Amino acid sequence: MSFVAVRLSILPQRYTDVEHIARGGMGDVYRATDTTLGRTVAVKVLAERYADAEDVKRRFKNEALAAARLSGAPYTVTIFDVGEVNGQAFIVMEYLEGGSLEQQLQAGKPDTAAVIRWLQQAAAAIDAGHAAGVVHRDVKPGNLLLDGRGDVHVADFGVASAVGLDSLTITGTVLGTAGYLSPEQAQGQRATPASDRYALAVVAWELLTGTRPYESESATAEAAAHVNAPVPAISRAGGPPELDPVFERALAKDPRARYASAMDFVADLRHALRQAAGATGELATVQEEVHVRGNRSPRWPLAAALLLVALGLLGAGLAMAGVIGGDSDPQTTTVVQRQTVTRRGETVTTNVTVTTAPEPPPAPTPTPPAPTPPISSGSGAQLTDEATGLLRQGRWSEAEAVARQAVAKLKGSGQVYEAYAEYDLGRALAEQGKCPEALQHLNRSEQLQGHRSQIDDARSRCQ
């Protein structure tokens, strides 16, 4: 069927300048001009082979209408129209000119900073869909579309299930989609929000390494690996080892063992990448024996203090018996200490010999590093991420200060980040025993994003 025939026989007359731009398992995608509203749109037309399948067309339209409820949610493709002409169903949605993440992968492995931004945007959209009761069922790079600014928008919420593309039990599953199927979907079970989060983790793995965790020449073999093969270590695929535990959880076979939200997964992923970036250096070699005698001693207190601070920052332990000062004394004692230094990948214990005076002055207590001051600028989303990171470190008062700023910036926005900011503030307050105010913010978070086990857990601290 020619493109002109497509416009005349399938699309309403208001859509002109039709151009075929993509083909997928459920049908074809066209770019067209909506002459009524004067804008460029994308039109997804259900494949002709489903023209006589009334149940498929009905599910296709019902799923599209359900996804349309998400229109206006952050980083979600907006649906403008759903209909049927001459027996073929179609969906009209916003046209995004930046292509898909699938095309980005075909061009080469993307920049890590861009990957984290894309994943965070996709996670916000997926969590918003789940809060509205819509499961995507087909999260993959081809359904993550880029606008002109390079921001990701999630397309096709729920639509895949209408034609059976979310399960290998249906004939016609396409290669590629199988690579992102959760174990439960690969076994023909119903997809859940946990299934979407699993698929997002597979997308993250592919964006970071250029390959999928169970990549295979056969779609069936790849789907079977999702069910039966142990979760591989991403460090073996070129990722930093700090990411291994994150993906171990995100790709768990049991949906209950996975992350409770897509944003939780991305937050841990970002934190692990920061750890990996900060773990490239090693502590300089420490002399195994230090002899301090006579007039050479006055510089030792400063050197000792600097060493203690350095070791404290790197998680090292140093036992110190004394600090030397003044002139040499014939009555000196030698103390042999055990010193443990943790380097990346190994722990080294050495003996350090220090000569001390009979009556040494008290050892100075190293001043702990000053706590990180709360961020006073940045977007509400950035502040929320910072507050989440502080919560994970148990820095409750700092998390409270940052979360308050995030709540103030996001208040009334209706974004999923507003729900996260309210949770962060409620959790930080609950941990400090400030329960009346904590419960107010936790309740607000639940109003915005629905029931979450993390909210119940935070409330339990006030019982």
**Do residues 125 and 73 make contact, with C-beta atoms less than 8 angstroms apart?**
yes
Distance CA 339, CA 32 (A): 71
Is residue 138 part of the annotated active site? The answer reads yes
168: closest CA among 182, 188, 184?
Answer: 188
**Do residues 252 and 259 make contact, with C-beta atoms less than 8 angstroms apart?**
no
Q: Which of 28, 34, 127, 138 is catalytic?
A: 138
**Do residues 386 and 361 make contact, with C-beta atoms less than 8 angstroms apart?**
no
Q: State the catalytic residues.
A: 138
